[in-house]
């Protein structure tokens, strides 16, 4: 059997192993190991082994990958370590990086170090490895030969890994081989400069010198005119993802553990009754018909602004609050009245209970909605009113985005928080 092309690239091999649940084995040498052999820790291991379609390949953990923010390739150990800590909170992730670097340099460690990726880089990498995104601005493209091999490998492996029946909807997303073939056959378009002058600019300076003796003096043009940038050559910009901020308060009815179920399926389940593991980052897709009725927006849900960059505030489209002002101390606009004049707010309370006075004082900038109280005996049965509440919240978010200039391509010129 021929070697699997995906295994020639460590980044693709890791992604394919994750999306197909193939075994990933750590080792201290290039000698193939089995899953039953004692496995070293990530601090002790010097190599990582992937097995896809009965073919194995072992990479050195220090191998640089195509994930290269600022053109600096990140080694394979850092990539795999980031995936292992995909659900860790920001403080836990930073502590884990420091702890692993200490173990690597200690006696018995493999040596080297792992990089502490930024918030944006970590988000991009995890989404790509999980198959939730097919591209990333931080990942360099494969060369022609490797891309062609990846096309063939995808076509072959899809027959093996594609799930059947109802499980197909939940199976790993495969790279479309036709799309990769199209990319391979793309031809670079030139502008009018290359069409008229060819790929090598011609130097006419000697003819200008001769002509200047017969013509009156004029301002001389540059010998090599700078080519105009065609709009076809510009790198297409990726649509920015809107951000929804949750309250980190323990008294909030909506937390990271139950917000996706509420906003995505219209079902309220108390945070204490969910089995979801704690995480500090979630994704959610929603079609907003009045902005783009063909392509859903992908929302980022977080409950902390610790790692926010200034431009992230222009993408915040909703802030959930419990009425406690300490929530806003780290925000760009710590004054609630100032904040909710720019970004829609949402308060979710129990049916039959009063809205906090602080929320009432913030006026129309905060939407107040109520859900039926949770009954452990009844459970999720009869919670049909939750869907109505969710649609009201999405309506406010969509209206706020449209008012701030969001289009199908992303936030408009006036869409930033500071635009008002």
13, part of any domain: yes
Q: How big is the chain by its Cα radius of gyration, in Å?
A: 27
- 258 and 113 within one domain: no
> What range defines the domain where residue 338 resides?
243-419
**Which residue among 141, 156, 171 closes a domain?**
156
pLDDT given for residue 320 in this prediction: 97
Does 222 map to a domain?
Answer: no
Whether this prediction's pTM lies above 0.85 is answered by: no
Q: What is the pLDDT of residue 124?
A: 86
Q: What is the pLDDT of residue 313?
A: 93
Taking only the tens place, the pLDDT of each residue in 113-133 is 999 888 888 888 998 999 888
User: Whole-angstrom Cα distance, residue 225 to residue 206?
Assistant: 15
Asked if residue 174 belongs to a domain, the reply is: no
Does one domain contain both 142 and 249? no
The answer to whether residue 384 is domain-embedded is yes
Domain assignment present for residue 365? The answer is yes
Long-range Cβ contacts of 275-280 (<8 Å, 24+ apart): 277/87, 278/87, 278/89, 279/87, 279/89, 280/88, 280/89, 280/90, 280/256, 280/304
Say if residue 140 is in the same domain as residue 22.
Answer: yes
Asked if residue 247 and residue 152 are part of one domain, the reply reads no
Say if residue 138 is in the same domain as residue 280. Answer: no
- Decide which of 127, 156, 185 is a domain's last residue: 156
**In terms of domains, do 120 and 262 share one?**
no
Say what the pLDDT of residue 91 is: 81
Q: Hey, what are 246's tokens?
A: 């949750």
Contact present, 17 and 11 (Cβ < 8 Å): no
**Residue 232 lies inside a defined structural domain of this protein:** no
392 and 268 in a common domain: yes
The last residue of a domain, from among 107, 136, 156: 156
From first CA to last CA, the distance across the chain in angstroms is 63
**pLDDT score of 278:** 65
Q: Is residue 177 part of a domain?
A: no
**For the chain, what is the domain count?**
2
Say whether both 400 and 258 belong to one domain. Answer: yes
* Distance from C-alpha of 420 to C-alpha of 418, rounded to nearest angstrom: 6
CA–CA dist 327, 366 (Å, integer): 15
Instruction: Note whether 396 and 271 are same-domain residues.
Output: yes
My answer on whether 369 and 248 are in the same domain is yes
Is residue 211 domain-resident? no
Q: What's residue 275's pLDDT?
A: 62
Q: What is the pLDDT of residue 82?
A: 93
- Where residue 387 sits, what CATH number does that domain have? 3.40.50.11990
Q: Token pair of 165, please?
A: 């029946």
Q: 393, 399 in Cβ contact below 8 A?
A: no
- Show the CA angle centred on residue 106, arms to residues 63 and 37, nearest 5°: 65
Same domain, residue pair 148 and 267: no
CA–CA dist 358, 249 (Å, integer): 15
Report the Cα 261 to chain-centroid distance in Å. 20
Give me the pLDDT at residue 135, please. 80
Show the low-confidence residues of the chain (pLDDT under 50).
Answer: 1-4, 145, 148, 151-173, 228-232, 413-420
């Amino acid at each position: 059997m021929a070697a699997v092309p995906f295994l020639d690239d460590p980044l693709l091999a890791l992604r394919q192993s994750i999306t197909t649940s193939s075994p990933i084995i750590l080792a201290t040498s290039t000698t193939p190991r089995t899953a039953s052999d004692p496995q070293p820790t990530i601090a002790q291991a010097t190599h990582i082994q992937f097995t896809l379609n009965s073919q194995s390949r072992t990479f050195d953990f220090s191998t640089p990958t195509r994930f290269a923010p600022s053109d600096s390739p990140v080694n394979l150990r850092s990539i795999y370590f980031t995936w292992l800590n995909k659900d860790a909170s920001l403080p836990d992730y930073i502590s884990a990086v420091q702890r692993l670097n200490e173990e690597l340099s200690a006696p018995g460690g493999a040596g080297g170090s792992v990089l502490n990726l930024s918030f944006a880089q970590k988000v991009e990498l995890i989404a790509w490895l999980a198959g939730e995104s097919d591209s990333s601005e931080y990942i360099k493209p494969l060369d022609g030969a490797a891309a062609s091999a990846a096309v063939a490998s995808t076509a072959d492996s899809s027959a093996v890994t594609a799930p059947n029946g109802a499980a197909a909807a939940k199976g790993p997303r495969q790279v479309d081989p036709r799309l990769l073939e199209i990319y391979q056959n793309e031809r670079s378009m030139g502008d009018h400069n290359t069409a008229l002058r060819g790929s090598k600019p011609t130097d006419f300076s000697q003819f200008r010198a001769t002509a200047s003796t017969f013509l009156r003096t004029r301002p001389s043009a540059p010998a090599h005119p700078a080519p105009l940038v065609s709009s076809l050559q510009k790198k297409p910009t990726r649509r920015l993802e809107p951000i929804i901020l949750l309250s980190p308060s323990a008294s909030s009815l909506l937390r990271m553990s139950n917000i996706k179920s509420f906003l995505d399926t219209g079902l309220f389940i108390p945070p204490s009754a969910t089995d979801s593991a704690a995480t500090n980052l979630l994704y959610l897709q929603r079609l907003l018909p009045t902005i783009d009725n063909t392509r859903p927006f992908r929302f980022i849900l977080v409950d902390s602004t610790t790692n926010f960059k200034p431009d992230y505030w222009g993408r915040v489209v909703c802030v959930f609050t419990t009425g406690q002002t300490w929530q806003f101390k780290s925000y760009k606009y710590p004054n609630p009245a100032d904040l909710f004049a720019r970004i829609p707010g949402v308060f979710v309370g129990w049916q039959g209970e009063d809205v906090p006075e602080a929320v009432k004082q913030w006026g129309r900038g905060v939407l107040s909605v109520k859900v039926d109280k949770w009954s452990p005996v009844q459970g999720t049965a009869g919670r049909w009113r939750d869907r109505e509440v969710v649609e009201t919240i999405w309506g406010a978010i969509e209206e706020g985005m449209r008012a701030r200039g969001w289009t199908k391509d992303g936030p408009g010129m006036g869409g930033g928080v500071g635009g008002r």
